[in-house]
Amino acid sequence: MFGVGLRREHYPYLTEKPITDIDWFEVISENYMNTEGRPISVLESIRKDYPITCHGVGMSLGSSNEIDPNYLKDLKALIDRLDPFLVSDHLAWNHWNGIKLHELIPVPYHEESLKIIANHIDYVQNELQRQIAVENISAYFNYTTSTMNESEFLSLLVQQTGCSILLDINNIYVNAKNFHFNPVDFIKTIPKESIAQVHLAGFTDMGTYLFDTHAEPVHQEVWNLFETSLELIPENIPIMIEWDENVPEFHKLEAELNKARQIMNKRDKNETRKITKPVL
Ligand SMILES: [Fe+2]
């Protein structure tokens, strides 16, 4: 139930096959697609001991161009090789007319983009022959043409395509601060049963805005939002910590993940109290 992002800084430690507090790993799909060599051989060795998820950054679901069939072919080959329990990407675009950007760019939230992205998700799910999870992103600008917000847009995508949602609590907090909305209202809008995974990560406070850097521990405000939102997310779903810059030693990552465990355990105890109350 509790995972972390697999990063190359931890390969030497993990290849020693230590006993860890980690239940599963999330891997960035593009780092292992259409490649041979040390990274994929380390991953295959880890895969023998842990379940994994494939998390992509290059599908570009939000582009007005078609999804690249070669990209999907490579992703399908990786999925066949690793048998992940979840495949995900973002509600964003980063490819357009041959231009590739190394950022996840938000989309405008309106009927026209909804139709395009729903078609893309249908196509991807058909090609991969499986459901995908779509993640809410952190953004630093929005579009005056949007007629709805990101959570309403994601909910419509779930209705129209049967995709699931990868809910990033840190992204919601960052956007809520930068764009001044209530983060709990955002989570309330997402159909609970559609949430397939949760991301937690650290942002950097830039003074005038919050920046989703994944370079710090999870901030207390994000832990608080996670705890406040527990009733709005399903029980027993995979929860993971993303840490991409200033990657700490593995034990620090495990300690961070154990904070999530403690919060979930607290919920389970409360649930037990709720259930036993009528009997008493
Ligand atoms: Fe995320």
Question: Ligand 1: distance of its center to the CA of 186 in Å?
Answer: 16
Question: Ligand 1: distance of its center to the CA of 59 in Å?
Answer: 15
Question: Ligand 1: distance of its center to the CA of 257 in Å?
Answer: 15
* 5 beta partners: 26
C-alpha–C-alpha distance, residues 5 and 28, integer Å:
8
| Token pair in block for residue 5 | 């992002």
Cβ pair 133, 164 in contact under 8 A: yes
Looking at residue 279, what is its pLDDT? 38
Looking at residue 232, what is its pLDDT? 96
**pTM of the predicted protein model:** 0.94
Cβ pair 66, 251 in contact under 8 A: no
Candidates 3.30.1490.20, 3.40.50.920, 3.40.630.30, 3.20.20.150; correct CATH number of 2-276? 3.20.20.150
Question: Ligand 1: distance of its center to the CA of 103 in Å?
Answer: 13
The full DSSP string for the chain is: -EEEE--GGGHHHHTT----S-SEEEEEGGGTTT--SHHHHHHHHHHTTS-EEEE-S---TT-SSPP-HHHHHHHHHHHHHH--SEEEEES-EEEETTEEEEEEE----SHHHHHHHHHHHHHHHHHHTS--EEE----S---TT--S-HHHHHHHHHHHH--EEEEEHHHHHHHHHHHT--HHHHHHHS-GGGEEEEEEE--EE-SSSEE--S-SPPPHHHHHHHHHTGGGS-TT--EEEE--SSPPPHHHHHHHHHHHHHHHHHHHHHHHHHHHTTT-
Question: Ligand 1: distance of its center to the CA of 14 in Å?
Answer: 23
Question: Ligand 1: distance of its center to the CA of 238 in Å?
Answer: 13
Question: Ligand 1: distance of its center to the CA of 188 in Å?
Answer: 19
Looking at residue 271, what is its pLDDT? 63
Cβ pair 143, 108 in contact under 8 A: yes
Looking at residue 280, what is its pLDDT? 35
Cα angle for residues 201, 207, 208 (degrees, 5° grid): 100
Question: Ligand 1: distance of its center to the CA of 73 in Å?
Answer: 24
Question: Ligand 1: distance of its center to the CA of 250 in Å?
Answer: 19
C-alpha–C-alpha distance, residues 2 and 242, integer Å:
12
Cβ pair 99, 88 in contact under 8 A: no
Question: Ligand 1: distance of its center to the CA of 97 in Å?
Answer: 26
Question: Ligand 1: distance of its center to the CA of 240 in Å?
Answer: 9
pLDDT tens sequence for the chain (280 residues)? 899 999 999 999 999 999 999 999 999 999 999 999 999 999 999 999 999 999 999 999 999 999 999 999 999 999 999 999 999 999 999 999 989 898 999 999 999 999 999 999 999 999 999 999 999 999 999 999 999 999 999 999 999 999 999 999 999 999 999 999 999 999 999 999 999 999 999 999 999 999 999 999 999 999 999 999 999 999 889 999 999 999 999 999 999 999 999 999 887 777 654 544 433 3
Question: Ligand 1: distance of its center to the CA of 199 in Å?
Answer: 5
Q: How many CB atoms lie within 10 A of CB 201?
A: 27
| Token pair in block for residue 46 | 């880890």
Looking at residue 276, what is its pLDDT? 44
